[in-house]
Amino acid sequence: MRLHLMLALIAVALVAACAPTKQSRSMETSGFLGDLYPKMHKGEEGESLLVYRNPKAALIPRGTYTKILVDPVQIWVDSSMSPDQQKDLQQLADLLYGLVYQSLAKDYEMVTKRGPNTLHIQAALSKADRANVVLRAISTVPAPMNVFALGSMLKNVGTGKPAFVGEASVEVRFLDGVTGEILAASADRRVGKKRLDLDSFNSWDDAHKALEYWAEKVRYRLCQQRGASNCVPPKD
């Protein structure tokens, strides 16, 4: 067991520079985006899994939106949750709201009501699962007879999600602050990677890292929309 742990710690050095989560191959939608789903299409490289763009949005001059209104993040998951599960998901929803707010506040005036030159952002957390930190640590150790590592590898090949990792899914829509018209929408799911570091022993860390990624991604996309030259994409 000690040898396995040593090998795993060595492997950490090889993957430390990579993003701790990755985009999944598919996701289940929650209903938050309503009748937009039939209008959505598969995202291209670097985009969310599902994307919708209102053709009218292309006609809006760059730099129109100088203010941002972010609603509290909603929870759209299975209603049959225990009180502890509800508490965990609410904490994640609050975290996502805070991350997005702080990220966009670097570039925009943050407001509390709709109005001219305001982009209105509504988001929902549609799935979140903990990682099994013990089994992930064991399965991270490569070994010919490590059944956990083999099982995780086979699941990753089949579904795009390694066994024992955490995940999160979000759905978001962007609306004009005056008309309320939906300009764009997206739905995405990210899952953890096989890794062994201090953060990986927090069962919610994969979900946290996914939320951090999306907050950075929203800022990056809006930076591109403004036509800025200093846009920094999140690590993927």
Q: pLDDT tens across 173-209, in order? A: 999 999 999 999 999 999 988 665 555 556 788 999 9
Count of structural domains, the chain: 1
157 in any annotated domain = no
64 in any annotated domain = yes
pLDDT at 147 over 50: no
Q: Is residue 73 packed enough to be buried (19+ CB in 10 Å), middle (13-18) or exposed (0-12)?
A: buried
pLDDT at 219 over 70: yes
Residue range of the domain that includes 52: 23-131+166-226
Structure confidence at residue 55 (pLDDT): 95
HEC profile of 83-146: HHHHHHHHHHHHHHHHHHHHHHCCCCEECCCCCCCEEEEEEEEEEEECCCHHHHHHHHCCCCCC
Which residue is listed with tokens 């699962």? 129
170/142: higher pLDDT: 170
Structure confidence at residue 113 (pLDDT): 97
Mean pLDDT of 53-71: 95
28 in any annotated domain = yes
Structure confidence at residue 236 (pLDDT): 77
pLDDT band at residue 85 under the 50/70/90 scheme: confident
Structure confidence at residue 108 (pLDDT): 97
196 in any annotated domain = yes
Of 14-18, 150-154, 227-231, the least confident: 150-154
pLDDT at 135 over 90: no
Structure confidence at residue 14 (pLDDT): 46
Which domain CATH number covers 92?
3.40.50
38 in any annotated domain = yes
Q: Which of 156, 87, 187, 170 is nearest to 124 (CA)?
A: 170
Structure confidence at residue 156 (pLDDT): 45
Mean pLDDT of 13-21: 60
Residue 61, number of CB atoms within 10 A of its CB: 7
Quote the CA–CA distance of 75 and 92 in Å, as a whole number. 9
